Each structure stands twice: as C-alpha cells, then as structure tokens.
Amino acid sequence: MSPDTKALLNRVGMIVGVTLILVWCLLPVAWIISLSFKSQAAVTSGSPGFFPSAGGGAGWQNYIDAWNNEQFRRAIFNSIGISLIATLLSVILATLAAYAIARLEFRGKKLVLSAALAVAMFPVVSLVGPLFDMWRAIGLYDTWPGLIIPYMSFTLPLAIWTLSAFFREIPWEMEQAAQVDGATSWQAFRKVIVPLAAPGVFTAAILTFFFAWNDFVFGISLTSTEAARPIPASLSFFVGSDPFNRPASLLAAGAVISTIPIIIIVLLFQRKIVAGLTSGAVKG
C-alpha cells in the first residue's frame, strides 16, 4: 500500500471517527431542542421523530412559558449569584493556598495535597444527610451560604491542585527579580506571579463555575423553597395541571434556557479555556 493511500485512509478514518463522536455527544442535545419545540399534546400522544408532526409544533411558546414562570426566573437568579460567589471565593482562596504549597517548604505539604484530593473525590451523596441536619441546626438550610459552602468544599481542592501545578512552572527568579527591584512579597505575588498564572486561574474559575451551575444533589437536598433553589433542582419541580403527566416540552425548554449561559461562556472564552487546560502540558 502506497504512502498516499495510507494517508488517505487515515484521514478518512479520522473524519469518520470524529463524526461518530460528535453524533454520539450532540444527539441528546439536538433531541431535547426538538422536544422543546413540540406541543405538550404531541408529546403526550407519543409524537415520533425529530421534527414536530403537523399541528404538533409549539414554536417559541414553551420558551415564553418557561421564562414567564416566576419560579424559573428566581432559580436563574439563584444559580447565577451562588455560582459566581462560590467561584470568586474558591479562586481567591485556592490562589493563595496553591502559591504557598508551590513556593514554601513545610512539613506535611504532601499530606495537605493528598487530603485535598481525597476531599474532591469524596462521594457527594454521602454528605447530604449530615449536612441536612447540620444546616437545619445552625440556620443555613435553604440559604445561599448553605449551598456556597458545600460547593467550595469540592471545588477548592480541585482548584488548589490545578493552580499549584501552574505556580510550579513559573520561574522563582522572576519573583526574586521583582523583590530586588523594590517590590514587597505581596506586590511580587500580585503583579508578577498572578498574571503569569492567569491561564490556570481562569481554568480553575471555569471548573468551579461549571460545578456550581450544574449541581443537582446539593440543590435538591439543601433547599425547600425558591429562596435558594438553583436551576437543576427547580426544573424537577416543574409540574403542569396534571401532576402525573409532567410537561416534558416545557421542561425541555427550561433545560435549553439554563444551558445558554454555559454555551455563551464557552464560546467567549474558548481560547483561554484551551490555553489553561494545555498550559504546562508540554515543556519546551
């Protein structure tokens, strides 16, 4: 077999493989978008196919109804506020902790990293029961802090691991040069180290925000009203006139709307996300 034939077969195989992966990953997304444009009557009658049948389309009405739902709008506000606060606090604390772990020598440093990793890998479901009782006792149940704290307990260790790897890649001489020029340790950290570690900081922020935005277990277990209930948990309470016949098309429209902020973030910052995930992977 000639080299040109091998190259052509490899190219065709790669195209076919990528196409299959994209279809496998995007088919559920395309299906839920299709479902969001169907009327509830068409869904109840078992309307087959990707596109709504004749007379079974609802147009944008499902999206209008979902957005006009006060419960849904409140859930969006809760998710945005809780996710942003959890992300900001996690990134600030993780940046300081990761810098100390990467730059300072102290006993038990490996133990700290191992404990952080163990916390990040701990099953979320096993903590719901104790947190429920604890939050009810101290008054954090059904509040924003009652969700922000559990989110940080899982995102902070992951952010520390991510950022400590970035700080290790930054030459120590750059910080020493800044101190020689008259900068204090805090000024060298803030004006030299943090800007150089910006891809890692951004990656940690994105991971933290995604975890908080997509969480369902804590959101459904540690809230009881719309005061702090986030979007994933709120969607499970969407019921129509018949509680035994859930409005699937309305739920699909709500799910699509709740995904839009994530899509916007990825499209706007995709280059920084890729740079953050790949920075330091290859040493020159």
- Asked if residue 222 belongs to a domain, the reply is yes
- Asked if residue 270 belongs to a domain, the reply is no
Which residues lie below 8 Å from residue 218, measured CB to CB, with a gap of 6+?
Answer: 124, 128, 131, 147, 150, 151
- Asked if residue 37 belongs to a domain, the reply is no
pTM for this model (two decimals): 0.81
- Asked if residue 14 belongs to a domain, the reply is no
Asked if the model's pLDDT at residue 253 lies above 90, the reply is: no
Please write down the long-range contacts of 177-184, taking CB distance under 8 Å and 24 or more positions apart: none
pLDDT digits (tens, 9 = 90+) for 129-187: 889 999 999 999 999 999 999 998 888 888 888 788 788 877 777 777 887 878 777 88
* Domain range for 92: 69-237
Q: What is the domain-level CATH number for residue 218?
A: 1.10.3720.10
How many Cβ atoms are within 10 Å of 151's Cβ, its own excluded?
25
- Reading phi first (left if > 0) and then psi (alpha if -120 to 50, else beta), residue 280 is in left
| pLDDT at residue 174 in the model | 79
- Asked if residue 11 belongs to a domain, the reply is no
- Asked if residue 269 belongs to a domain, the reply is no
Q: Give the count of domains, the chain.
A: 1
